[in-house]
Structure 1
Amino acid sequence: MRRLGAQMMRVLVCSPNPTVSINIEAVLAAADIECEIEPEPQAFGSLLFRDPDTIGIFLALWPGSAAKMCREWRIADVRNPLFALVDEQSIIVGPSALAAALNAGADDAQPWPINGAELVARLFALQRRQRDGNPSIIQLPGCVLRPSTGELVGDTAKIHLTHQETVLLTALAARPGLIVTKAMCMLALYNGRDEAHVKIVDVFVCKLRKKIAAATGGLDVIETVWGQGFRFIPDGYAPSFSQFGQRVPG
């Protein structure tokens, strides 16, 4: 029976073991959750990419494979919630398999086999986080950002943002008028993982500004606060340029 007030959930399952896929499908069907099966990881990622509201469940049979698959899908700009199931034998061989999957981009990671009721409960928790943590649109001057697809949509242009660009702009927009430090930006981008130098934030901001200007007719919404970080300006502003066409810092 569908939970009161819950929206219909779609789940895509990827497993090299057909029996596992069938078992998961039966558990989800009993909970009135729409489920499809795609055994090929590449096709699995492609299907998720085309439907950002679908939750992906995948089974990893050996240590490290869960993290590897997650990393590849995230690099391919798959933004969907990912639920990694790691074969319990893998955990015996490598206890860090679950942590590695989470660090690589999984939204949840549990050993397989898993209790059916717990699986369903965790899926609904993922759905709530997806719904509550990701606004359907973010209003910018002259355009809107759709975080689920990474699209900046203006009157005359539709521009695609990468996953990292979307995460960063969403984090800034969540604190309008407040200073967001580079450390806070790094936390939003990498969730505490030491995967890049802090200067990467400046690179993302530079790329974002170019795309925002293209979508808004030249406006910017990210103000640099020197020595502190960045500030989201909801109404936007027109940046200044030198006589040589270079942007004046700020």
Structure 2
Amino acid sequence: MRVLCISDSSIHGDGRPCNGLSKAAVEGAVSMTMSGPEGVVETLRRSQYDIAVIQQMEPDVKLLRHIRNSRVPTPIMIIARNINPAAVARVLSVGADDCVPATVDPVELLARLRAIIRRASGHDSLTLHIGRLTVNVDRREAQIDGKPVPLTKREYEIVELLALRKGQVLSKEAVLDNLYAGQSEPHGKVIDVMICQIRKKMRNMGITEPFTTLWGIGYRLNEAAFIPLGARVNDIDSSARPTARESSIPVTAGIKMVPSGGLDIL
């Protein structure tokens, strides 16, 4: 999970992330980049962050409104030292996806962050269904037609990441950041190797090309590869049927049709 943590420095005095984010980063669940409010819109546009977390002493809509007015779609969570129902309602109405106190438990904070990212990607439950592919986030298992795909821990994480970000192209750097979350990262070639291994395992289960490779850019989940077989047959049948020809009324030479329904004799 790639998080841009935007701090106004007043919450701790030195711009440090709150306790929950700090613990998540130490445990390797979050790859976090710290930033001040200046230039944050360009930062969010330039890099692939899963979510932005704004740390404040009290919920303030100014920065939030600036980001939303700039049409940056990145999900945003507000973490504030002092909150009340009216302040929470205000930031939610302006465009925040959640607002929690700085004392939030790390376990709850991570669950909230993951839920926001999941919903932003178009998934409303812990089980992701993409045609023949099912990704159970809670059990950390991927299935094809109900049968488990024998993936390693890192291979599963790649499948989950690309399933959550279906339709998006992820660079190797973004995949590395999400998998290793700021820990000592291996060379980018390791992603190519894992993608190759996943392809082999899924091909053995009838998925010809699970990923689309955009050379020099990154990878994207190939949703078309997971279309159920029955649906493909129906598509082929419907495309093979001849289309009905438009019927026409024969018009005798010397007579032309006019809008009023009458005939005009030439």
TM-score, structure 1 normalization? 0.44
Whose radius of gyration is greater, 1 or 2?
2
Higher relative contact order (CA 8 A, sep 6+): 2
